[in-house]
Amino acid sequence: KTESSLSITVVGASGDLAKKKIFPALFALFYEDCLPENFTVFGYARTKMTDEELRNMISQTLTCRIDKRENCDDKMDRFLKRCFYHSGQYDSGEHFAELDCKLKEKEEGRLSKRLFYLSIPPNIFVDVVRCASTRASSKNGWTRVIVEKPFGRDSESSGELTRCLKQYLAEDQIFRIDHYLGKELVENLSVLRFSNLVFEPLWSRDYIRNVQFIFSEDFGTEGRGGYFDNYGIIRDIMQNHLLQILALFAMETPVSLDAEDIRNEKVKVLRSMRPLQLENVVVGQYKGHSKSGKTYPAYTDDPTVPKNSLTPTFAAAALFIDNARWDGVPFLMKAGKALHTKRAEIRVQFRHVPGNLFKRNFGTDLDKATNELVLRVQPDEAIYLKINNKVPGLGMRLDRSDLNLLYRARYLREIPDAYERLLLDAIEGERRLFIRSDELDAAWALFTPLLKELEEKKIAPELYPYGSRGPVGSHYLAAKHNVRWGDLS
Ligand code: BG6
């Protein structure tokens, strides 16, 4: 008999994130036999629903992405039988006490491990944590809570949220998720750096000219304008997803792969950075646009967005790490919605070859001859290195070529969704990919002065057409730092 029992309570079970990501991720873990023998999934939300209705709702979004040939329906049924629902208010201790009774019933006296996933708006985080921790926490095992951004809007509100959460939970019970850290290529970053001799020795200002972190989506804020307008792209993508990748990219070699060792190094990078300055930032907002008979809306066409909103849907920024390894190297970030393509990538542009013997083969533009390493996080995961190569033949003509590792060609296995990895880690108590509170503080310290200045000075974003490559200002910003965006050249 297995001695323990795991329950995962998804608070905010009828929300979009729960339906699209969390339940499907839990099913994928079940499918792959990663969940323990005794587990139950509880949905918790205000809507009145029966267990059966919850199962119906969840089943709409479950897919057998792993192996379509196997008897997936059977697995789905077995998974759904473990899913239950409890309807309650988010601030009602009593309702959480009822949940506690139901959880106990399923646990049948075994050691209880309780994971709460807060898939709810931030203004009710603290209420839920208070109720869950005082009325529905495990008495003999562990209780962990996964929270998802936004963690406040600036240093003060984030600090306040942390203080409130810590009234009820210890730091090691709080799992702050940044789903970009669960993406395959982001996890691979450390493997690439620290287990290949050819990269790490070059990983510094001596060989790297600049690094670019690029996020673009080819759709706008459709349906999420109300949430988005209060945050904007800098808080939505840069301060968390891109900055987290930057910290992993730039950190010193950790003592070990332990969560604390890695997070110690990440936080050092964040603390070595200069807070962003307005002169190193460009903001944009998409405007309506017609193309080939199709009309695309402006950001402010969204009925939940104020007509005069100055909220950026695009931003580009140059950041600097003032330490010995990275002194003077521009780290550029670019993030935008409603652009021409959907993509997330890291680009590393290397320096020129000193005294390049083949200089004349490149004409006057020596930048075109430098190596570039690209980690394409999505879509179509790949790692490629741009090199110069001789075009076969009798002459001496050089060509730009790629050493290309395309995941779908090399690995036949499907790549797990970020939420699968992160949920499994939280269940196993692995904190490596979760954000520690000091990391969060350091991240906000970098962005808060800029965000305040943008708001106080009412900086108008540069408008760019829906589906375009974004504001031209981002090119000027890059050029100011002697950089050319790799995705556009
Ligand atoms: C979320 C942002 O964190 O990440 C969204 O709030 C964004 O605005 C999403 O669309 C992108 O995630 P992914 O995994 O689809 O690239």
**Number of C-alpha atoms within 13 angstroms, CB side, residue 354?**
2
Each residue's pLDDT tens digit, 79-135: 999 999 999 999 999 999 999 999 999 999 999 999 999 999 989 999 999 999 999
Cα of 64 vs centre of ligand 1, distance in Å, is: 23
Average pLDDT of span 248-258: 98
Percentage of residues of the chain with pLDDT beyond 90: 88
Each residue's pLDDT tens digit, 162-192: 999 999 999 999 999 999 999 999 999 999 9
Rounded Cα gap, residues 190 and 336, in angstroms: 26
Beta bridge partners of 463: 285
Residue 81, CA distances (Å) to 55, 58, 66, 108, 371 in order = 8, 12, 20, 17, 54
Each residue's pLDDT tens digit, 123-176: 999 999 999 999 999 999 999 999 999 999 999 999 999 999 999 999 999 999
Cα of 459 vs centre of ligand 1, distance in Å, is: 25
**Residue 6 pLDDT level (bands cut at 50, 70, 90):** very high
Atom 5 (ligand 1): residue with closest C-alpha? 236
Which ligand 1 atom is the nearest neighbour of the CA of 240? Answer: 3
Q: Is the pLDDT of residue 356 over 60?
A: yes
Confidence (pLDDT) at 236: 96
Rounded Cα gap, residues 358 and 349, in angstroms: 19
Buried b (16+ CB within 10 A) or exposed e, 116-138: bbbbbebeebbbbbbbbbebbbb
Q: Which H/E stretch holds residue 304?
A: none
Rounded Cα gap, residues 474 and 318, in angstroms: 10
**Parallel, antiparallel or unpaired: strands 314-319 and 281-287:** antiparallel
3-class DSSP state of 130? helix
Has 179 been annotated as catalytic?
no
Each residue's pLDDT tens digit, 273-324: 999 999 999 999 999 988 888 999 999 999 999 999 999 999 999 999 999 9
Q: Is 107 in the pocket of ligand 1 (CB under 6 A)?
A: no
| Among 343, 276, 310, residue whose Cα is nearest residue 462 | 310
Rounded Cα gap, residues 394 and 401, in angstroms: 19
